[in-house]
């Protein structure tokens, strides 16, 4: 993700600051952390399909 942020900094107009870019990714990062927490709490969510396929 870090390389993508630096690339975006290079192609973004000069009016958009690096801080603006970092603030823009905060919701995405929070959603990823939420997804990891959900899988950690309820691992059967991700284990359901392999169990259906392989028994």
Distance CA 12, CA 21 (A): 9
pTM above 0.85, yes or no: no
Q: Which residues contact 45 (CB under 8 A, 6 or more apart)?
A: 38, 39
- The DSSP secondary-structure symbol of 12 reads S
Residue 34: per-residue pLDDT: 98
pLDDT value at residue 26: 94
The model's pLDDT over 2-53, given as tens digits with 9 standing for 90+, comes to 788 888 888 999 999 999 999 999 999 999 999 999 999 999 999 999 999 9
How far apart (Å, rounded) are the C-alpha atoms in residues 35 and 42?
10
Does residue 1 carry a pLDDT above 80? no
Q: Is the pLDDT of residue 54 over 80?
A: yes
Which residues lie closer than 8 Å to 25 by C-beta, 6 or more apart?
Answer: 1, 5
Q: What is the model's pLDDT at position 45?
A: 92
């Amino acid at each position: 993700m870090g390389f993508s942020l630096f690339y975006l900094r290079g192609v973004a107009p000069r009016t958009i600051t690096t801080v603006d870019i970092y603030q823009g990714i905060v919701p995405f990062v929070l959603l990823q952390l939420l997804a990891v927490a959900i899988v950690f709490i309820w691992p059967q969510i991700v284990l359901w399909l392999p169990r259906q396929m392989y028994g």
